[in-house]
Amino acid sequence: MTAAIAVGVLVAAGVFLILGRSLVRVAFGFILLGHAVNLLLMAAGGLGRRGVPILGPDGGPPPATADPLPQAFVLTSIVISFGTTVYLLGLARTQRRGDQPDDTGSRP
């Protein structure tokens, strides 16, 4: 339930920011949306479905383990969203530079 509420709040805030004109706000909106989806991925994990791939000291499954698959997913998705965030911020910087009236050098 906590996860559901957190995802809801993050998505609402993220969508609100994306609808703005400024690219910096859009970048922050996507950071929040990325967090929301990561939480969703973590909440989707569960161990009841199959055995764990990691073996404990006695060769059997260890006593307390989390589902490893969503963690791998989240790790991947964090790396991807980091890259896109850097790109969006770079784009925002380019756009701001282009808005200056004296800078026409970048136009083709």
Partner 1 sequence: MIGALLIAPVAVPLLSAGLLVAVPPRRRLHRIIALAASTTGGMTGAVLLSSTLDGQVPTVDVGGWPPGFAIVFAADTFSALMLCVTSALVVAGLAIAAGTGDDTHRFYAPLVLVMSAGVGGALLTADLFNLFVFIEVMLAPSYALFTMTGGRDRVAASAVYVTVNLLASTTLLAGIALLYGVTGTVNLGQLAGSATSGGAALAAGVVLLALAIKAAIAPLHGWLPRSYPHALPAVAVLFSGLLTKVGIYGIIRIYAVLLDGTPRFRWIIMAAALLTMVVGVLGALGERSVRGILSFDMVSQVGYILVGLALFTAGGLAAAIFFMVQYVLVKASLFGCAAAIEVAGGTGQLARLGGLARREPLLAAAFMLGALSLAGVPPLSGFVAKLAIVTAAVVEGDYVASAVAVGVSLATLLVMLRIWSIAFWGEPPRHRVHADDRPAGGGHPHELRPTRARGPVVGPALALALPSLVLGLGAQPLLVAADSAAAGLLDLSTYIEAITR
What string of H, E and C letters represents the secondary structure of 86-100?
HHHHHHHHHHHHHHC
Tokens matching residue 86: 């850097």
List residues near partner 1 by CB under 8 A.
18, 23, 26, 30, 33-34, 36-37, 40-41, 43-46, 49-50, 53, 68-70, 73, 76-77, 80, 83-84, 87-88, 91, 94-95, 98-99, 106-108
Write down the least CB distance from residue 38 to partner 1, Å: 9
- Return the number of the residue (46 or 60) whose C-beta is nearest partner 1: 46
Whichever of 21 and 64 has its CB closer to partner 1, that residue is: 21
Minimum Å distance from CB 57 to partner 1? 20
| DSSP SS3 for 31 | helix
Q: Which is nearer to partner 1, 65 or 76 (CB)?
A: 76
Q: What's the alpha-carbon Rg for the chain, to the nearest Å?
A: 20
List Cβ neighbours of 70 (8 Å cut-off, separation of 6 or more): 41, 42, 44, 45
